[in-house]
Amino acid sequence: MIKIQIDTKQSSKYIISKHIYGHFAEHLGRCIYDGIWVGPDSKIPNINGIRKDVVEALKNIKIPNLRWPGGCFADRYHWKDGIGPRNLRPKTVNAHWGNIVETNYFGTHEFMETCKLLDCEPYISGNVGSGTVKEMSEWIEYMTFDGESTMANLRRQNGRDKPWKIKYWGIGNENWMCGGNMTANYYTDLLLRYSAYCNDFSGNKLYKVACGPVGEVTIDWVLNWVETILKKTKNRLFFKPIIEGISLHYYTRAGAKPATQMSTRRWYQAMKSALYIETPILEIKNLMDNYDPIKRIGLIIDEWGTWWGVEKGINPAFLYQQNTLADALIAAIHLDIFNRHCDRVHMANIAQTVNVLQSMILTQGDQMLLTPTYHIFNMYKHHQDNKLLPLNIISNDFIHEKFKLPAINGSASIDKENNICLSLTNLNPEENYEIECDFLESRINKNEINATILTSESLNAHNSFESPENVRPENYPIDKFKISNNRLSFEIPSKSVLFITLTQLE
């Protein structure tokens, strides 16, 4: 028996930002072209060149933001290549991702149109690695200035009279590697300079995100990178903050085999890798609390997800992978961890939205399918902008060979209508668990319990274009639950994600 305690009378003061459920679309493989953009002349139903089916699917999961144009691509991207008549735009080489010719048909205007259709916030990564301060400053002016200037008039010439509103702005990406092989000191000095020229025009206010570390290396290196930024930006608030956020990247890896080759041992390895993200989050939070006790600076986990081997016959540089039940559980693990640390985690962006790495959607010509990970985001959207509830899980770990893992991972929240949302993941691929959830002083209405479960018999279960609904959520029957003395008892099956919504009695 696993015991869970939720005290709704002692709810956290922290809100689970909807931006934790953000997404990432890079010019990589078939993410943009074929995935989001098919062009206005395509036979595939589209809205000004943007795939209609993809837009509708992403709107359904309440996508809050979309990060673009990269990724590694961002620090080679020169925004003026992607404006003006598409037939006149220069063709460039995507040197990071297979030396494929980039047509630049999808640029600033197309991206902003995508965000408008999705009703989400744009999050743009600016070029620090191969760009200039002037180039980044002019891009911000082009997009957000409402007056008479060369850049604003160029925007009008290209068909957009009024400026856009841009909140989230990344100052570089992975500048310790593909963004320039920089040291922490060198990057931070550039950050101070670039930030000074990232201006707020015409009532627009930028939320500037510094390039942070990757969490899969040593903690000492991670903390050195973050502390260098915090030290050099502290006490420089003469007129406005240098930054509002620091990023963190983290990928779950368990060998180079494709996603569908998921043995039991590899499953445990993958779950352990996924859970490890909480270690750098905790260490970075402790460091940030020392320099920023009022929590003004957010932790922005703007790249996360699984990284498996590509599918057979696919260009390795395209990073196209299938998406299995394991991906679904890994997505749930991450979202629950982010929820629990929402006092500092303001945003997260899964990599990537379509056809790349741990994607929401796979496309093939005019066909589209929803992955198991998509279904997790659809289940978890009910946590968005809720107040965090402290969750205490009392459980023994389970052991497989050298792997020691917690049986259950989860998070809880309460919405504006006073409904409790509880998400739980059973990491054990072989054993069901009996759960006893104690709501302490709260009384639960058994007749108003709604539950959805995602699971399968096979570790390698996935959706294909031949069987697009092989893995999908199902209603978990109300008769599976028993209530006695404010305690809710139920069973959670092996290798499953369970999302429960409960109504409290007055």
d(CA 455, CA 472): 8
Cβ atoms of 479 and 380 within 8 Å: the answer is no
Cβ atoms of 99 and 155 within 8 Å: the answer is no
Q: With b meaning 16 or more CB within 10 Å and e meaning fewer, what string describes 21-41?
A: bbbbbbbbbbbbbbbbbbbee
Dihedrals φ, ψ of 269, to 5°?
-60, -40
Catalytic residues: 174, 303
3-state secondary structure 198-227: CCCCCCCCCEEEECCCECCCCHHHHHHHHH
Residue 189, token pair as written in the block: 């000095």
Helical residues (DSSP H) of 197-347, grouped into ranges: 219-233, 264-275, 278-291, 325-340
319: left (phi over 0), alpha (psi -120 to 50) or beta: left
Q: Strands 121-126 and 487-492, how do they pair?
A: unpaired
Closest CA to 474 of 334, 359, 361, 372: 372
The continuous run of DSSP H or E covering 479 comes out as none
Beta strand residue intervals within 354-480, DSSP E = 361-364, 367-370, 387-389, 391-394, 397-400, 403-406, 408-414, 419-426, 433-438, 444-454, 474-475
Q: With b meaning 16 or more CB within 10 Å and e meaning fewer, what string describes 257-277?
A: ebbbebeeebbbbbbbbbbeb
